Amino acid sequence: MRWLVTGARGMLGADVVAHLCDRDGEHVVALGREQLDVRDPGAVAAALDAHRPDVVVNCAAWTAVDAAEEREPEALAVNGHAVRVLAEACAARSVRLVHVSTDYVFDGTASAPYPEDAPPNPLGAYGRTKLAGERAALAHGHLVVRTAWLYGAHGANFVRTMLRRATAGEGVAVVTDQVGQPTWSADLAARLVALARIGAPPGVYHGTNAGQTTWYGFAREIYAAAGADPALVTPTTSAALGRPAPRPAYSVLGHTGWARAHLPPMRHWREAFRAAWPYLAGTVTASSGGAR
């Protein structure tokens, strides 16, 4: 198969490219934002016509949650309008689009895992812009995969920030009032590829590792894995942190949709974290922080 990956220099995009390059018979074109401005319809059309992919995996996104509150039109241009451009261009060429979305499309008031068909109700600008992208992709018969609490070996993320602080023996206050599913980007990358390869029905899928924890609980796991004292992690609340953008208090996503694709849910987050650790432990010197 021929693949085109947008946002290929980011955390998830890099893992999608790596996963595809490890497989025989795959032709992969990896385009970062320097190579393809997904907001530009002409550039998108030219890229599709030049590379003639069977599948586009869209990992390009505005991910600065707090900045989106003040710069929503800019975030919408990437997370919403650009997805419409990709969706329309792919549909016109019979190319499958796999688009990545987020738990932020929900308000976090649930007490049980959100099913794929739960009504979205985003709390802030980031969630609104990602929901616009979802709707654009679905309107043209493509695949939407929501993820949450993503971490990996590339780019700033919660695990790398906690690992840097643990290695330095620093204490850190982490929220106890947000519940979700830590998800290894390499696991999600493999699942995005699997969905496209098997010709999964269009619609929404929830791409998170199973189980649940709090950011506080996850931070203690990271400190313990790094050989640091988990007691250095102390509890705090979201209100005490005072972030500009509201976060969903409950971001646990249900996984019944995988049955439509004849695939099992993704493995438990603790199992994934153990598998990810060898790839994460050596990245601490390169980490720039960026805790969620």
Tell me the pLDDT tens digit for each residue of 64-82: 999 999 999 999 999 999 9
Task: For 213-257, write each residue's pLDDT tens digit.
Answer: 999 999 999 999 999 999 999 999 999 999 999 999 999 999 999
CA distances from 262 to 191, 252, 255 (A): 12, 22, 12
Q: What is the pLDDT of residue 289?
A: 29
| DSSP code per residue over 259-286 | GGGT-PPPPBHHHHHHHHHHHHGGGGGG
Q: What is the pLDDT of residue 144?
A: 98
Asked whether residue 167 is domain-assigned, the answer is no
d(CA 235, CA 1) in angstroms, rounded, equals 48
CA distances from 29 to 34, 78, 152 (A): 14, 20, 21
Tokens of residue 270, six digits: 């603790």
Mean per-residue pLDDT over the chain, rounded: 95
Task: For 91-109, write each residue's pLDDT tens digit.
Answer: 999 999 999 999 999 999 9
Asked whether residue 115 is domain-assigned, the answer is yes
Structural domain harbouring 139? 2-157+181-211+252-267
Q: What CATH number does the domain containing 127 carry?
A: 3.40.50.720
| Backbone torsions φ then ψ of 290, nearest 5 degrees | 95, 35
Asked whether residue 33 is domain-assigned, the answer is yes
| DSSP code per residue over 163-220 | HHHHHTT--EEEESS-EE--EEHHHHHHHHHHHHHTTPPSEEEE---BS-EEHHHHHH
Asked whether residue 234 is domain-assigned, the answer is no
Asked whether residue 58 is domain-assigned, the answer is yes
Q: What is the pLDDT of residue 282?
A: 77
Tally the domains of the chain: 1
d(CA 240, CA 225) in angstroms, rounded, equals 27
The DSSP bridge pattern shows strands 55-58 and 96-102 to be parallel
Q: What is the pLDDT of residue 24?
A: 78
pTM of the complete model = 0.94
Asked whether residue 164 is domain-assigned, the answer is no
Q: Catalytic site residues?
A: 126
Q: 287 pLDDT band (50/70/90 cuts)?
A: very low
Query: Mean pLDDT over residues 245-270, rounded?
Result: 97
Asked whether residue 289 is domain-assigned, the answer is no
Query: Mean pLDDT over residues 159-183, rounded?
Result: 97
Tokens of residue 138, six digits: 């679905």
d(CA 155, CA 164) in angstroms, rounded, equals 13
Asked whether residue 82 is domain-assigned, the answer is yes
- Of all residues in the chain, what percent carry a pLDDT higher than 90? 93
How many helices (H) and strands (E) in the chain?
Answer: 11, 12
Q: 288 pLDDT band (50/70/90 cuts)?
A: very low
Quick one: DSSP state of residue 231? G
Task: For 6-30, write each residue's pLDDT tens digit.
Answer: 999 999 999 999 999 988 789 999 9
